[in-house]
Structure 1
């Protein structure tokens, strides 16, 4: 069920450094800046959704990697849960899979969260059972979202994503995390996930790391087939 949503405006405070021939001075200023982002997406509904008129359902937000970015929405079907859907698998929750429209840019995580908020309002979704996952560039976006929006998700699974270790201090300690990475990854080194996992363990987080021997950057081919992954998500609900 594809759709298109035009998203949000934000205000920024801008400080301007003015230089004069005799001296430099710092002047404060404020300008209204409108930033618009269009996101196309797929939204999957489980069979049970149509059979119930009042039940609220969990939702999994899936963020793809760099190779699926751009203007061809069909690319999203190539990996992760959308690929499994095209192969006939059913899931017990809704799946929201937006597309990053920029081939050479990071995910706009504020736009993604604005989309998620709108979808959550429009459909019968349980806001206490929102789950987050992503691979590669989408995995990096997962860490960023977990740091900037720590009270949104009940559980998160990250696959071979770049992992800024300082983000560990900002992530909600009550959110379980499952990390997947290929040990022979030449693009985003396995050590990234290893160091983040170790840091989270030291801080007392509920985190686990699944390392794939002999696997490169395509760890998602194994991770999204991992036995128990989707049941693992459903074990968790925000209080």
Structure 2
């Protein structure tokens, strides 16, 4: 399986804070947003359909850089070797505070958030995965200990008929009592669209930005 993994570059959307150009020295937090399955392809405009890109499209301002890579059609965030090249490119291009990098995403992006965080735990100050499959990613199970020191806020609706609630619950159960910064929002009356309730709010961003870590990359 590993022999088929391609080392590739993914295109991405970018959002810069309104004061980014005003200070040529200041470094900013970075939130990496991994989209869901319906936004895969080669048209970056599709990413504006939901999540944080949708919020920026509506004119909302954020105190951080937001980058949203696009996964090719029919693939998963775990299919290709893309993250290291992406990380190297964006940290060279943008003034990023390497101790304040965050990862989040819904559905396919939630699965990708678990996967990328478990593989590159030294990169992220905190993660917020939503409604993602985890049982098909053996890599997560093998590296679950890598997430013990990472702040995690996981989301999943109990009425989800697309990705079973148990997909998030199984990972959270393994982290409970071992991760001091674990938070789980198990919403009783929401289905797969939980991200439509979360990203328009403020709390998720305030929670992410609360965390800082010294970079080890």
Same fold (TM over 0.5): yes
Q: Is the partner of 1:91 in helix, strand or coil? A: coil
The equivalent residue for 1:218 is 193
The equivalent residue for 1:46 is 17
The equivalent residue for 2:150 is 175
Unaligned runs of 5+ in 1: 1-11, 15-32
Bigger fraction of residues in strand:
1
Per-residue CA deviation, residues 80-121 of structure 1 (Å, 9 max, x unaligned), is 1000001111110000101111x2221246313321221012
The equivalent residue for 1:19 is none
How many pairs align?
208
Give TM-score, length-normalised by structure 2: 0.88
Larger-gyration structure (1/2): 1
Within the alignment, does 1:79 sit opposite 2:38 as a pair?
Answer: no
Residue of 200, 207, 210 corresponding to 1:235: 210
Q: CA deviation at 1:226?
A: 3.7
Higher relative contact order, structure no. (Cα contacts within 8 Å, ≥ 6 residues apart): 2
Q: CA deviation at 1:207?
A: 0.9
Per-residue CA deviation, residues 123-170 of structure 1 (Å, 9 max, x unaligned), is 211111100001111111111111111111000001101124625624
Q: Between 54-63 and 207-216, report the one with greater CA deviation.
A: 207-216
Residue of 65, 76, 97 corresponding to 1:94: 65
The equivalent residue for 1:153 is 124
Give TM-score, length-normalised by structure 1: 0.80
Bigger fraction of residues in helix:
2
Unaligned runs of 5+ in 2: none
Residue of 88, 105, 112 corresponding to 2:75: 105
Q: Between 135-144 and 111-120, report the one with greater CA deviation.
A: 111-120
Say what the alpha-carbon RMSD is for the aligned residues. 2.0
